Structure 1
Amino acid sequence: MIKKIIVSFGLLFAISSQAQEGTASPYSFYGIGDVKFKGAVENRSMGGVSVFSDSIHMNLQNPAHLASLKLTTFTVGGTSLNTTLKTENAKEKARRVTLDYLAVGIPAGKLGIGFGVIPYSSVGYKINQSADETNQFTTQYNGIGGINKVFFGMAYKITKKLNFGVDAQYNFGTIETTSFRFLTGVQDGTIEENFSRIQGFNFTTGLAYETKVSKKYTLFSSLVYSPEAKLQFTNERTITVDDQEDIRPAENLKLNLPSKIMFGAGFGEVKKWVVGAEITLQQNSDLKNRFDDITGVKFENSTRYSLGGYFIPNYNSFSSYLKKITYRGGLRYENTGMVLQNKSIEDFAVNLGVSLPLSGTFSNVNVGFEMGKRGTKYFNLIEENYFNLSVGLSFSDKWFERRKFN
């Protein structure tokens, strides 16, 4: 039954990831779009902290944790995005529903294997802008698309305390942007259409270490590194004036996918409570735009701080379902690496969540809530106030157990 569910979800995900508009942020106009992926729902519910090992949940941020799986695990997640966009003079609301990830993890003794697909970044904006003080000219900008990642990872339990893992990722996708410029009162105008086809490879390595510091308490630590990689952008540009198309050459580019290092530590009683913190450093200063004529933005190195943990009232409770629920919470702050009007764009969020066990199984439903703010309404910029509801399903079972009787 679970295998049929996985196939159904896989087909749905393959179709939806190509068609979905995963963001409503004007900031997705720049760079490679709005980087949406911040981990599985259970990790995002803790502010993005991913330092803890888990035997029944896939950790999509550190491949080393694949070696900690005890059961074959299928996981899928989606989010309802609710955003209020503010400037000093206006306010708009937007809503999107996205599929965030689909993955399978398979334990094989000391080895763990995982594979799946993740929509990594999204482009989705509609902007109206007056071109001059007389408001005679108006320009409208539209954008849609993004980058998806297909990954395959392996991890090995070097010792009882130390795991090492690596995953390879193939990036692919398309981004379409259109600008309309027209004179007030005139029917025809100028339309510029830009189309980018993206592809490229990168990989991630990770270490995960845990050790008992007493009979009850465990210390966790982790290190993840992704070296810089190249994304190939094959660009096309079409300009239409008074219904006359003019296809003009657009330079194909190789853009850097920035290097990233993440390290963290955690402490707690595994089946009761754990708290942890992580820092992520990303070399965003090497990032560029999809077309050389996009101006007004600079990039700087980014830093993300995550703090979070979980609490389980009574892991073995038979009398109260509420006591078996895992309650999660966390905080996240990051300097996104984007600089507009000489102002660094910052993002801050508060996270809460629960893991609801399914009776008689090791599977569960993960629900996460995120409330935060990105950017500012001052300096001629846009402030995004968002509330996101995420739901993840994690199915765990023994798939490859040898039969004792025929």
Structure 2
Amino acid sequence: MKMNKLFTAILVVIGFTQIKAQNSNSLSSSPYSLYGLGLENPLSTGKNDGLGYAGLAMTSANSLNLLNPASLGGINQHSLFYNIGFKLESKYLEQNRDSEHITSGNFSNLALGMAINNRSGIALSLMPKTDVGYEVSGLYSPIEGSSELFETEAEGNGGLNNFMLSYGYALTDKLRFGANASLLFGEITETQFNYIQSNILYIADENDYSGFRFGAGLQYDLSKSISLGLTAKTPVSLSGSQTRTISQYYADDEIVAGIVEENEVDNFDLPLELGFGLQLKLMDGFDVLADYKRHFWSSTNQSDALGKFTDQDFFNLGFSFSPLPNSNPLIYANHLEYRAGAYYDSGNLEINDQKISKYGLSLGIGFPLNKQDKSMINLSYSYGTQGNINNGLIKENFHLLSLNFSFEDLIFVTRKFN
């Protein structure tokens, strides 16, 4: 018990130090993270990654599920869950005849959840909400008043963090309600090197965004084998500020001039988000989960320099199978949980009348650590594609490996010794 509590404290320290780490070590390696405030992070806690990111109707009885705060109303009375996750991603980028291979990895989530009583639970979590990580070179623009061109190289990193407090309560044995509050914050750094004849113009922008967001959810058990889930997140306008550094490097006399400016930037609006989920328990140990979510980006009336934001649809499908409870408990393989899933993201950005969609398949497996609690190591693999090579766009083929350590402690339990 003391070792578990010590481990919990270590996880908390690691997680909070990663707030700054995200700003310097990007979690993304996608050129599409150039748009907006970066790419949405699909990863969650525990087993959801191997289920095609589905789980709006799944409770937190066996593992912490933060996709729907109502799930905390089903957490076992004496359970304390803590999770920490990491990811490793390998991407192959294609554009016309050019190709590139990029690998990135980092922390992906940290969460702590516990039962308050036999009808309610609470959770605290920290995870990246968006990821920015791109490098662009070979951009040529005309020099004003001249027929000559200058070259630009640009790169960006950082993203938004989501620090969230969630609460769930079981109104009845079948109906659960939940709510959450999120502090969204983070820094996105963008730098440019403009090569103008023999001179270099350097521009570095540090853009900080922050804001609060609220959400709610419901779960209802139609029967012992059918459960429904609903979620909603409010729109929010994130306030921003910018620190800009401008330097001019002159090759001939090596004079360097620097200017630092504090600027206001436009607020960035996040839209209303709605979700619906279904869970079917077809037989002992075999579950099917299906989710649909819609993000109403069109209502924000925002556009990017190269495209416009459009409504975004998500479809998630997951399958989970465990040989227990009817198999031989002495065989370790019978305690494993096997998972598979598929997902589709229509994308929220339209470039040249084409939406940047994403789809993929996932496989996962859960390795239980002991028989006394629900502690488990969750490993998942996902393969997918984003974008295409039409009209000068970029196609990404990616392999994503995620590792989640999910531990359970039993609290407020009086141990008996014979």
* TM-score using structure 2 length: 0.90
| CA deviation vs aligned residue, 1:194-218 (integer Å, no higher than 9, x gap) | 1111111001100011243xxxx51
Matches within 5 A, 1:319-398: 319-361=330-372, 362-398=374-410
Alignment partner of 1:226 is 2:233? yes
Compute the displacement of 1:333 (Å): 0.5
Matches within 5 A, 1:143-182: 143-182=156-195
Equivalent residue letter for 1:371 = Y
8 Å CA contact retained: 2:45, 2:111:
no
Aligned to 2:252: none
Alignment partner of 1:192 is 2:203? yes
| Residues in 2 aligned to 1:262 and 1:390: alpha-carbon distance in whole angstroms | 24
| CA deviation vs aligned residue, 1:109-166 (integer Å, no higher than 9, x gap) | 2111111211111111111133159995321111111111111111110000110000
* Correspondent of 1:253 among 245, 266, 282: 266
State the SS of the aligned residue for 2:392.
coil
Aligned to 1:4: 6
Compute the displacement of 1:277 (Å): 1.1
| Residues in 2 aligned to 1:335 and 1:296: alpha-carbon distance in whole angstroms | 18
State the SS of the aligned residue for 2:64.
coil
How much is the aligned-residue C-alpha RMSD, in angstroms? Answer: 2.1
Aligned to 1:309: 319
Alignment partner of 1:62 is 2:68? yes
Compute the displacement of 1:287 (Å): 5.2
* Correspondent of 1:117 among 120, 123, 126: 126
Alignment partner of 1:295 is 2:305? yes
8 Å CA contact retained: 1:21, 1:96:
yes
Compute the displacement of 1:88 (Å): 0.7
Equivalent residue letter for 1:15 = T
| Residues in 2 aligned to 1:368 and 1:135: alpha-carbon distance in whole angstroms | 51
| Residues in 1 aligned to 2:102 and 2:299: alpha-carbon distance in whole angstroms | 31
| Residues in 2 aligned to 1:23 and 1:90: alpha-carbon distance in whole angstroms | 20
| CA deviation vs aligned residue, 1:61-111 (integer Å, no higher than 9, x gap) | 100001111111111111111111111121111111121111111112211
* TM-score using structure 1 length: 0.92
State the SS of the aligned residue for 1:37.
coil
| Residues in 2 aligned to 1:235 and 1:257: alpha-carbon distance in whole angstroms | 19
Equivalent residue letter for 1:344 = K
Name the stretch that deviates more: 54-63 or 326-335. 54-63
Where does structure 1 differ by over 4 angstroms across 4 or more consecutive aligned residues? Answer: 132-136, 286-289, 402-405
| CA deviation vs aligned residue, 1:340-372 (integer Å, no higher than 9, x gap) | 222100000101101111123321111110000
State the SS of the aligned residue for 1:379.
helix
State the SS of the aligned residue for 1:2.
helix
State the SS of the aligned residue for 1:45.
helix
Compute the displacement of 1:245 (Å): 2.1
| Residues in 1 aligned to 2:51 and 2:323: alpha-carbon distance in whole angstroms | 17
State the SS of the aligned residue for 1:323.
helix
| Residues in 2 aligned to 1:323 and 1:63: alpha-carbon distance in whole angstroms | 30
| CA deviation vs aligned residue, 1:156-193 (integer Å, no higher than 9, x gap) | 10000110000111111111101111146x3x311121
Aligned to 1:99: 107
8 Å CA contact retained: 2:80, 2:410:
yes
Equivalent residue letter for 1:62 = N
8 Å CA contact retained: 1:286, 1:299:
no
| Residues in 2 aligned to 1:365 and 1:385: alpha-carbon distance in whole angstroms | 27
Alignment partner of 1:17 is 2:19? yes
How many residue pairs are counted as aligned between the two chains? 396
8 Å CA contact retained: 1:37, 1:118:
no
Structure 2, unaligned runs of 5 or more = 250-255
Q: Percent identity?
A: 26
Equivalent residue letter for 1:27 = Y
Equivalent residue letter for 2:39 = D
| Residues in 2 aligned to 1:18 and 1:75: alpha-carbon distance in whole angstroms | 20
